[in-house]
Amino acid sequence: MVTNHNKNLEFLPKVRNLTLTALIAMLPNLSFGNVQTQTIMPSKAEINYSNRQVQEKDSLTYLFDALKKNPKNLDVLLELGSVEIAIGNCTTAVGFLERAVKVEKSEKTLCALADAYRCAMQYKIAEDVANEALELNQNSVLARKKLGAFAFEQNKLKEAAKYWSDALKFAPNDYVLNINLGGAYLNIGKINLAEKYARKGVKLNKECANGHYVLGLVCEAKGNTKEAIAAIEKAIELNPSADNYKEKLQSLKER
């Protein structure tokens, strides 16, 4: 199904009448907003991407040099795709990841390509590619995570919740899925379900700032301002650079 189109979560809630949170569904090859995710590195590379803004030029130079030596180096193609997505070069990312799929059509490469099309706002193609990954592995948690994220970003909240709920059947202790579901149900208005999944997500990973933030939004929706403040203060402690957390905390304290 995948051809050379060349057009172009840990989280995403858009909480109704509250605020836009920085929840992006687990993207395994890059980081978005306040969520740092795993990076696929070239097999023999020792590159530190903890500060991409500083090292981006050297990293890209290394990767391009590695690709010249072996144009079919799958790890390098995947990493180049993820870096290009991270810096907003979505069309370029599609090119690298289309090449990666030609080298090896797998759940991993197809989901990476789906991310690139999502970056380029080509949601229909992104969904088609992610569904192709799901066809390769009908138990794929990763593909369902992607499809849930794509649905959420298009405000298809019930569809997003369905994909994430299905993924949770295969990975019940995935904290990102639980937090994403909490955010989705909060948007839908199912506050008790939102609380259930948000609390479980925080319990599974107490170091996830977005988890505490979503829990704070849930507590706010339930009218529990004191706990909402405590949760968002914890989120700020874990991620002091998140301005949206600080804005929410300020608005809660002004009530």
Residue-wise pLDDT for 87-127, tens only, equals 999 999 999 999 999 999 999 999 999 999 999 999 999 99
Task: Please say if the pLDDT value at position 137 is more than 90.
Answer: yes
- 8 A C-beta contact, residue 78 and residue 109: yes
- Report the SS3 class of residue 32: strand
pLDDT band at 57 (very low <50, low <70, confident <90, very high): low
Distances (CA, A) of 104 to 37, 126, 170: 23, 18, 25
Say if residues 240 and 218 touch (Cβ distance below 8 Å). no
Domains in the chain: ranges and CATH = 14-44+53-253 (1.25.40.10)
Beta bridge partners of 15: 19
For 150, residues 6+ apart whose C-beta sits below 8 A from its C-beta are 114, 118, 123, 126, 127, 130
Q: How far apart are CA 205 and CA 212, in angstroms?
A: 10
Angle at 169 between CA 166 and CA 170, to 5 degrees: 105
**249 residue type, one letter:** L
Residue showing tokens 């505490």: 212
- Measured distance CA(198)–CA(80) in Å, rounded: 34
pLDDT at 8: 33
Euclidean distance between CA atoms 59 and 52, whole angstroms:
8
Q: What percent of the chain has pLDDT over 70?
A: 77
